[in-house]
Amino acid sequence: MDVATFVTRFLGPVPVRIRAFDGSVAEPARPTPVSLVLRSRDGLARILTRPGELGLARAYVTGGLDVEGDLRALVDLEIPRIDPWRHLGDLAALVASVGPDVLRPRTPPAIEARPRGRRHARGRDRATVTHHYDVSNEFYALVLGPSMAYSCAVFAEGDDDLTSAQTRKVDLVARKLGLGPEHRLLDIGCGWGTMAIHAARAYGTRVVGITLSEPQAALARERAAAAGVGDLTEFRVADYRDVADGPFDAISSIGMVEHVGRRALPEYVSRVVGLLAPGGRYLNHAIARPSARPLNPTPTRASEVRDTLVDLLGRRASRTHSPFIDRYVFPDGELHEVGSIVTRFQRAGLELAHLESLREHYALTLDAWVANLEAHAAEAESLVGAERLRVWRLYMTASSAAFTRHHLEVHQALFVKPDGGRSGLPRRPAWALAT
């Protein structure tokens, strides 16, 4: 049996063209702009010995499985899981054709993350951050552009460039926090310093930025000095659990809560609330998963029990986006439903002042990053290698599709720490009327 035929037996009517190393080809029922190419026995072996997304990911990362044509078109298709064990007769025919070596498990790619220790303990968190962020500052500059902002931008209507949209995002955060020269800001997960530098330069705010990445902190210091705000900014390589010099008038967390995890979330909330001065504001900008179920307008005892079970099972579902993302992009990443985040902070004593969805903005942001990556693909590969380049191409393309289809969300939630019952917010903030 040829390889393409074997694969299509388990895919059913194939929505893409399949080409294989043995020369076989399987055409889809309708024309397609994309082909899946099995380039080697190694790629086939990875799929067979680890059926499902992880096996496909390993084959793709190592180049044994490739995509020709429009990668976004492939991501937008629904391709069922390959199950090589459903028809052992076909598998035996395949082995007779290509050799038994395709059933020998392969060593996972070297860039695959395998964090050790207790989930979300300090040491493990530092290791997972290092896996993703300590790749190369030069590589991130190619992808992110001059802003060096690695989170959802805020685009204006019509034509808008990425740098302007990222500046608009950090300025929106600054205005929501009500920053001024009399304030002290803690930026948790400061990255390469974009928010801190903007707050200091545009509003005269004193800023402490924290990250677990030494290369990020080093570049943030250089950028702050070049912007003339080195005296107003301090960048520390530190865990949020180690910050002890509060209170702060404002706290920002942009794209960081996704790394905290359900196990550590209660402590994170407690730390934020404890570090925030009375009357202070906290802004949480984070990717979220959609709610697991629709609201039941007429709950019964049976439905309440069922919903409780769904919530408990959902704790596992909130961990990581997929096996591919968990092993190659954001190890230990966990997404939360926005309502659960709001509830936790409100129970801890903060008051929700404003909530804004930026979901469609993130799809535009990712599309811009993909365009940057493709425009500088050769240089990017020289910096991080072919395997990591393939990871980023797939991860950002798939993420854009996920935000477009509402499989992922992103929100900015603004909280205040009431001071004697007063929020300190304007009655009708300009940023709440139009951004």
pLDDT of residue 10: 67
Four-residue CA torsion sign, 131, 273, 352, 203: negative
pLDDT given at position 28: 85
- The per-residue pLDDT for 80 is 61
Mind listing the domains of the chain with CATH numbers?
3-103 (no CATH), 122-433 (3.40.50.150)
Q: What is the pLDDT of residues 107-153, one digit of tens each?
A: 999 999 888 888 888 888 888 888 888 789 999 999 999 999 999 99
pLDDT recorded at residue 365: 98
Using alpha carbons, select from 131, 123, 143 the residue that is nearest to residue 215.
131
Confidence (pLDDT) at 104:
93
Instruction: Give the residues of the chain that fall short of pLDDT 70.
Output: 10-14, 78-87, 292-321, 433-435
Report the pLDDT value the prediction gives residue 371, as an integer from 0 to 100: 97
pLDDT in tens, 29-56: 888 888 999 999 999 999 888 887 888 8
Instruction: State what percent of residues in the chain have pLDDT above 70.
Output: 89
